[in-house]
Structure 1
Amino acid sequence: MQTDNSNVNLSTVSDIIVALQTILCSRATIPDLETPYSRTTFPNPNHCAIELKDQSISAIITERQHQLEALSHDISGLQTVMDGIHTLQQQLFEQKNKIIESINLHKRLVSPLWRLPTEVLSQIFCHCLPQIPELDQLRRPSKLTAPMLLTKICRRWREIAVGMPNLWCVLCVESDDRNWQQATFFYDTWLKRARGRPLSLRLHFYSDVHSTKLRHLIQPYVNQISSLSVGCYYASSDTPEHNIFSNLLALQEMSVYIYTYIPGDNMPAIFRVGGWSFDSDEVSSCNPVWAHLTSLSIRVREAKAALHLLQLAPNLSLLMIRITFDDVQALGPFTHTNLQTLGIYCDYPDESGSQFCDLLDALSLPTLRVLYVYGVPEWPHEEFKAFLARSECPLESLIVHSGEETDEQQAEYLALIPSSLQFVSY
């Protein structure tokens, strides 16, 4: 009998099976154990040494001992054979699985899907990538979705997927205290597969302790990060730091979302007072990160910080900005030549609504096409008309969540704009 998995001879195994079946069809010979003493239930104390003429009791015992030894030897030998048969059975099962695997492999090879060129599969893999979730729905990568799923199908698919840097350029990172060392290895392996390509990262963390971990994680890739979304939870007593943005000189798009938890509240609130926002000094501290940005969503504390941010980010084409506090200051005039979409949210209209007017008076935006304004209690008609006249911008959409404009006001705006203007007021 062979014991090596690779040397199992099926014809020899068949012979063994036939021989075993023949043996099993026969019955083991059971010796006759009857003696004249077998019917004696209780020995006669007066005849304890009686012996037959042809056989003594001691001779019977000796014979039975030989029979027991022979039977024990047969049982041991049979157990060895059974163990060998069990091993042989395992070998046959393994060989069966390999044959099935070989059949499936060759069946796949005749399928058109498995004959697709690498270039075609690469294009298909790109379309398998899931849509990037909203920041509040952020989840770490799953093994059940691409690109991780593509590495689990077969060796060829894994080699193609791992060798495609553009599959690994987007990553959602959620920082917590559970298995962070293991998570770091996973995230780092993912980012290395991007092979120097521009990265789009979404970071979600809960305190400065976690932001420090994330900063260490992304440090080797700061020159690749072109898009960054940051969402974080802070207790009202926390003092958030802005160093996570330092040295991100390749950054082109950035969004910052802050969820501040105040004890006693059932739910966190977005952009609550006391959360993370930028004043003018903090905007300056992150320079020159702003220089290459083309898209930005952020929260600032006053109109002065918003204007300073525009000065430091000359390439911005889209800016969504929230103004929180009322800090009325004189603002010098400034012209931004690339901004096409501007959204301004005033968190506290009664306090920060005046800052919209201050910003409007200071700005000239000659390329502005879309303007969204939320939280201004009374629409500053004269200031806005002066802004249009000064900017001479091709404004196409004005979306206002404040006091309604009259038809007469809209007509005055149209007279100042060299293009058609769509009004949306609610």
Structure 2
Amino acid sequence: MSQTPTVAQLWQDVDDLVTAIAQAPDTQQAALISQLGEAKHKLNMAVDPMARLPLEIQSLIFLAVPPSRNTHPYPPHPPPPDPLSTPMVFLQVCQLWRDIALATPQLWCNLGMVDLPRSPKYSNLCGYWLSRARSLPVSLSLRGFLALHQDVQDLVAQYSSQLESLTLGLVVPDATLIDPDTTLGLEHWRGLELSSLKNLSLQASDPASFGSIRRWLDVLAAAPMLSRLELDNVFFEPENNQELFPSPLRLASLQDLELGFPFMYDVLGTNGSSSRILRHLTLPALRELSLSVLDVGYGELNAFISRSSPPLESLHMAIPFNWSLSSLVQFLRLIPTLVSLHLSITSPDPRDAAKLFLLFDTLNTADFLPNLHNVEMYADLHVPVDYEQMLRLLTFRRTSCPGRLESFKLQIPEYGPGTPIPPSDHLKSGLRQLMEGGLSLHIGHPSENLL
């Protein structure tokens, strides 16, 4: 029975082959180089613990390596085809690690392409990257000034049927210079096969027009599996020709629609998005809705909810100046499934802030939002907090509603009209009893709880 060679013998085999290659004629070089590769592999198997693991375990270890540090602005960006980024760095360690990386298609399913346009060499490199994902779903993030080269458009088209997530991030040096048709290649996106697309995100560094709603509806119609749509700083041109919209587009799989981030828009004037697109959508599966700019009337908002009849559970909403309490209440009554309600009210008008406490009276009824568990309100208050009313509301919601209230936050900006007066000792005691009973309760600045 042959004995397993020692590490010293394996090293000697490698040294002997290196010497032989240096002395051999050209006709023998290829065979000897092949033998050298096999000898190195045997040596690696003997000295490298990684090499003795099954390929499945090796792949899991590689997949557990944290991605390269994100140097791009929010939101997180997939790895770029950079030699120092994961997983490209695996290819440069040794032949074994290269083989493992190339045999693990899950490593190559996410790709970020930044600062377009680039040379054809760049898109070729991205093509090699995506080919290693084989037939798995892929996620693409394209960021920069998206005057896409034809070779990049061709690459996206090649993998469009595998696209599971697509992010188009536009850096806007001057929104007035943007031509959506050429900058975003709208005609190109409208023609893609997006049968696997589940997540679509359109983002701009500053508010920008993304062109015609009609054209983007055509893009959405090509994505029947779409479950999440994010529009951040994205606004659409008004459509005056109603013949272009014979009926709202029905997206049966869409569960999460984010039209900007209400807090960021109201406070900083950024991260807004037009809600006009709601006129043209029917979303029967919608569970989460975020509205940063309410630039449609409540009648259109109610019509959207009525025709969609969604199982909506979470609503983030910025309240416009001079808002109507009755209109808001009527709208919320259409959503009895609501579990989490987040309202942002930053109007400087004291009358608008006073309506907030009138809303509390409506919440203090069992048939209004019966399944509500979480309430968060961001309010630039110019009126005193009615703690007695708040105690009644919270006690009622904890004890007399089908959906037992679990958390309540009333946050006031630190740069606002000042810290509100804390509750009296008697009312503070009652509120703290609710907290001891399990209610998460916060009143005051984000960094300071008056309770």
TM, length-normalised to structure 1: 0.62
Q: Percent identical across equivalent pairs? A: 21
Q: Paired residue for 1:341?
A: 288
Deviations 1:58-93 (A, max 9, x none): xxxxxxxxxxxxxxxxxxxxxxxxxxxxxxxxxxxx
Q: Paired residue for 1:361?
A: 302
How well do the aligned residues superpose, as a CA RMSD in angstroms? 3.8
The number of residue pairs the alignment matches comes to: 309
Deviations 1:127-163 (A, max 9, x none): 1141794665757233223211122222222112101
Q: Paired residue for 2:328?
A: 384
Q: Gapped runs of 5+ residues in structure 1?
A: 10-98, 260-269, 347-352
Q: Paired residue for 1:397?
A: 341
Compared CA separation, residues 193 and 151, structure 1 to 2 (3 A)? same
Q: Paired residue for 2:372?
A: 420
Q: Is 2:120 the counterpart of 1:181? A: yes
> Aligned partners of 1:400, 1:310: CA distance in 2, in Å?
28
- State the 1:254 CA deviation: 0.6
**What SS does structure 2 have at the residue aligned with 1:376?**
coil
Deviations 1:279-336 (A, max 9, x none): 432233325234321001123438999xx89733221111111576798x9969x863
- State the 1:195 CA deviation: 0.6
> Aligned partners of 2:221, 2:251: CA distance in 1, in Å?
9
Q: 2:178 aligns with which of 231, 234, 238?
A: 238
Compared CA separation, residues 229 and 132, structure 1 to 2 (3 A)? farther
Q: 2:159 aligns with which of 214, 218, 221?
A: 221
Q: Is 2:136 the counterpart of 1:197? A: yes
Partner AA of 1:218 in structure 2: V
Q: Paired residue for 2:434?
A: none
Q: Gapped runs of 5+ residues in structure 2?
A: 1-17, 24-35, 261-271, 347-351, 379-451
> Aligned partners of 1:221, 1:341: CA distance in 2, in Å?
29
Q: Paired residue for 1:58?
A: none
> Aligned partners of 2:357, 2:68: CA distance in 1, in Å?
42
Deviations 1:10-36 (A, max 9, x none): xxxxxxxxxxxxxxxxxxxxxxxxxxx
TM, length-normalised to structure 2: 0.59
**What SS does structure 2 have at the residue aligned with 1:223?**
helix
Contact 1:331/1:358, CA 8 A, preserved across alignment: no
**What SS does structure 2 have at the residue aligned with 1:218?**
helix
> Aligned partners of 2:327, 2:122: CA distance in 1, in Å?
52
Contact 2:256/2:286, CA 8 A, preserved across alignment: yes
> Aligned partners of 2:204, 2:66: CA distance in 1, in Å?
28
Which protein shows a greater Rg? Answer: 1
Partner AA of 2:371 in structure 1: S
Compared CA separation, residues 256 and 132, structure 1 to 2 (3 A)? farther
> Aligned partners of 2:160, 2:150: CA distance in 1, in Å?
14
Q: 1:289 aligns with which of 222, 236, 239?
A: 222
Compared CA separation, residues 302 and 176, structure 1 to 2 (3 A)? closer
Q: Paired residue for 2:418?
A: none
Contact 2:314/2:341, CA 8 A, preserved across alignment: yes
- State the 1:103 CA deviation: 9.8
Deviates more, 1:111-120 or 1:213-222: 111-120
Compared CA separation, residues 237 and 169, structure 1 to 2 (3 A)? same
Compared CA separation, residues 212 and 357, structure 1 to 2 (3 A)? farther
Deviates more, 1:293-302 or 1:195-204: 293-302
Partner AA of 1:387 in structure 2: F
Contact 1:300/1:321, CA 8 A, preserved across alignment: no
